[in-house]
Amino acid sequence: MSTTANKEERSLNFLEEIIEADLAAGKYKTIMTRFPPEPNGYLHMGHATSICLNFGLTKKYGGNTNLRFDDTNPVTEDTEYVESIKNDIKWLGFEWANELYASDYFEQLYNMAITLIKKGLAYVDDSSSEAIAEQKGTPTQVGRRNEYADRSIEENLQLFAGMRAGKYKDGEKVLRAKVDMSSPNMLMRDPLLYRIKHAHHHRTGDAWCIYPMYDFAHGQSDSIEKITHSICTLEFVPHRELYDWLIEKLEIYPSHQYEFARRNLTYTVMSKRKLLQLVNEKHVAGWDDPRMPTISGMRRRGYTPESIREFCDRIGIAKRDNVVDISLLEFFVREDLNKRALRRMVVFDPVKVVITNYADADGEEILTSENNPEDPNGGTREIPFSNEIYIEREDFMENPPKKYFRLAPGQMVRLKSAYIIKCEEVIKDAEGNVTELRCTYIPESKSGSDTSGIHVKGTLHWVSVKHAITAEVREYDRLFKVEDPSSEEGDFKDYINPDSLKIVRAAYAEPALKNAHFDERFQFVRKGYFVLDKDSSTSGMVFNKTVGLKDGWKAGK
């Protein structure tokens, strides 16, 4: 089956244009990209964009993508994160060519530093970090060099070796590049290349006590791996000048850096620091809390890798700041889930309906219903029907507004895959709460063999009282009350939505749901899409709501 005929013509994004031009000019035979996470936190939707971009580009144009952990800061990094990151990338559906670590290059990086020293382009500075900051000047004021910049090459070589040998304490000395203290680009004002940290590294252990800074690790690692297109986010634009300077002075493979605007989503935050706060301060249950915009959270929430990939592709890439409406993401999950989710009926807040004319009191029968009307090969399932059923409390109104298609006194509705019923009597308790609805059914209206000739506008989901099983259902709403918590006054946590989690301890479900598997997706008819949560046990099932169905009905409209 070919879909090329109606495949939408999509224009190239600016990175694809650059790559096609490079390829056309014969600059490269094949391209090489990399995804360079720092193993100090879990991956989130922002990373998903970068993953889809980097892996997507090499998939499209031929080439490979490396997974490279940017592990140059031992105090914040951990192997736990390495494993979660690898797991998330695989789950998204991508394969890296090589699993690499910046720490693999420590020896080479050290030698590159020596090269720079020998060229008179780097020096050891004994100043305190405060002094260095002070001497750097400000964006509007040039910096000035101190006396350490005049050290001889021999002295620098000896001092740098001493740094590596552990002769100095943390912060006592740093290695700096000798560039230009009056550059309008602050990063070019003799940037730090190495700092001393007597810390245990998750991979190199205690082999090193000096670690390269980002600027002296990232570009060099790119070069070592012969990355052709090194793609990063906009805040690294000013780093490009230094990136190129180092490659030029070191005379190594000329990788090139390109920047795109990171993706933001409405009603959430997308920085590792803020997400870490939410976890540490227990505003959420963990990194994989279904309300988190982390890959692991979204996976647990029931998002599919296909829908996330589609979202990243279709949203495109550019260089301007943006906040993508969460409804766009939700559209892509619905689109995907609508095609694959098994339909099941679950009543969250029940009200009992007694069908007074249904056979004798013990009467029941087995009905069948399609698993998915969108999938002709989806098969059917059996649903027990009886004279006592539950319907959703909100599906009944004693005094309905005009155009209310659900149940009301004297009004008729279709029970999905069953019969048409008519509400004859409303039974209430002393407080006036509806406790039971007495209805009659139309025997000739049986689903599939309806000869009643009656047409009703509303169809309700239901479940037989005596056959129902119970399950816990967790419904999620946006984590924040405002579109962009980070740009709001005060602390972003002030805008946390207190009602982002609603738990239904015992929802009533049709028996077919008993065989639910973790890899299955469900649509609870008229409710939304759900997935089994890892908190499920033999004593009870727990379902997470991935996303609700679109609701076209507005009361009082």
Partner RNA sequence: UGACCCAUGGUGUAAUGGUAACACUACUGAUUUUGGUUCAGUCAUUUAAGGUUCGAAUCCUUAUGGGUCAACCA
Positions annotated as catalytic residues are 38, 262, 272
- Cβ(48)–Cβ(86) under 8 Å? no
72 in contact with RNA (CB under 7 A): yes
Contact residue for RNA among 31, 44, 67, 70 (CB under 7 A): 70
- Cβ(265)–Cβ(293) under 8 Å? yes
Round to whole Å and give the CA distance between 103 and 418: 64
Contact residue for RNA among 405, 424, 477, 493 (CB under 7 A): 405
Contact residue for RNA among 87, 108, 277, 338 (CB under 7 A): 338
CB of 228 to RNA, least distance (A): 20
Residue 27-56 contact track with RNA, rule CB under 7 A, x = bound: ---------x-x------------------
Residue 214: DSSP 8-state: G
373 in contact with RNA (CB under 7 A): yes
CB of 460 to RNA, least distance (A): 7
Closer residue to RNA (CB): 14 or 120: 14
Taking CB under 7 A as the criterion, which residues in 253-292 touch RNA? 261
In the numeric block, which tokens belong to residue 17? 């244009």
CB of 295 to RNA, least distance (A): 17
549 in contact with RNA (CB under 7 A): yes
Closer residue to RNA (CB): 238 or 511: 238
- What 3-state DSSP class applies to 352? strand
Point out which span in 189-197, 244-252, 378-386, 513-521 binds RNA (CB under 7 A): 189-197
Three-state SS for 512-525 is: HHHHCCCCCCEEEC
Taking CB under 7 A as the criterion, which residues in 472-491 touch RNA? 487
Taking CB under 7 A as the criterion, which residues in 425-444 touch RNA? none
Q: What are the residues whose beta carbons fall under 8 Å from the beta carbon of 336, sequence distance 6 or more?
A: 304, 306, 307, 310
Point out which span in 44-52, 122-130, 158-166, 284-292 binds RNA (CB under 7 A): 122-130
- Residue 414 dihedral angles phi and psi, to the nearest 5°: -90, 135
Give residue for tokens 């590049």. 177
Report the candidate in 225, 204, 224 with the shortest Cα–Cα distance to residue 112. 224
- What 3-state DSSP class applies to 301? helix
166 in contact with RNA (CB under 7 A): no
CB of 85 to RNA, least distance (A): 12
Kindly tell me the number of DSSP H helices and DSSP E strands found in the chain. 12, 25
Contact residue for RNA among 328, 359, 427, 454 (CB under 7 A): 328
Supply angle C-alpha 542, 545, 546, rounded to 5. Answer: 130
374 in contact with RNA (CB under 7 A): yes
Residue 513-542 contact track with RNA, rule CB under 7 A, x = bound: ----------x-xx----------------
Residue 133, Cβ neighbours under 10 Å: how many?
A: 11
Report the candidate in 477, 453, 492 with the shortest Cα–Cα distance to residue 528. 477
Residue 547, Cβ neighbours under 10 Å: how many?
A: 22
Closer residue to RNA (CB): 91 or 214: 214
What are the beta bridge partners of residue 463? 390
Report the candidate in 48, 38, 476, 111 with the shortest Cα–Cα distance to residue 276. 38
CB of 470 to RNA, least distance (A): 21
Strands in 420-428's sheet, in edge-to-edge order, are 459-460, 412-415, 420-428, 434-442, 350-355, 388-392, 462-464
Residue 549: DSSP 8-state: P
Report the candidate in 442, 508, 499 with the shortest Cα–Cα distance to residue 473. 508
Query: C-alpha 254: how far from its chain's center?
Result: 33
Closer residue to RNA (CB): 61 or 536: 61
128 in contact with RNA (CB under 7 A): yes
Closer residue to RNA (CB): 164 or 535: 164
- Cβ(313)–Cβ(328) under 8 Å? no
CB of 308 to RNA, least distance (A): 15
Taking CB under 7 A as the criterion, which residues in 191-250 touch RNA? 192, 195-197, 211, 213-214, 217-218, 234-239
- Cβ(351)–Cβ(396) under 8 Å? yes
- What 3-state DSSP class applies to 434? strand
Closer residue to RNA (CB): 138 or 280: 138
Closer residue to RNA (CB): 56 or 289: 56
CB of 478 to RNA, least distance (A): 14
Contact residue for RNA among 335, 349, 365, 444 (CB under 7 A): 335
Point out which span in 10-18, 289-297, 355-363, 463-471 binds RNA (CB under 7 A): 10-18
Point out which span in 8-16, 289-297, 380-388, 530-538 binds RNA (CB under 7 A): 8-16
Closer residue to RNA (CB): 452 or 536: 452
Taking CB under 7 A as the criterion, which residues in 291-320 touch RNA? 314-320
Provide DSSP, 72-133.
Answer: --TTT--HHHHHHHHHHHHHHT---S-EEEGGGGHHHHHHHHHHHHHTT-EEEE---HHHHH
Contact residue for RNA among 321, 429, 431, 489 (CB under 7 A): 321
Closer residue to RNA (CB): 329 or 468: 329
450 in contact with RNA (CB under 7 A): yes
Point out which span in 91-99, 164-172, 245-253, 488-496 binds RNA (CB under 7 A): 164-172
Size of the site for RNA (CB under 7 A): 94
Closer residue to RNA (CB): 315 or 501: 315
On the 0-12 / 13-18 / 19+ scale of CB atoms within 10 A, 478 is: middle
- 239's enclosing H/E stretch is helix 239-250
Report the candidate in 547, 521, 550, 533 with the shortest Cα–Cα distance to residue 286. 533
368 in contact with RNA (CB under 7 A): no
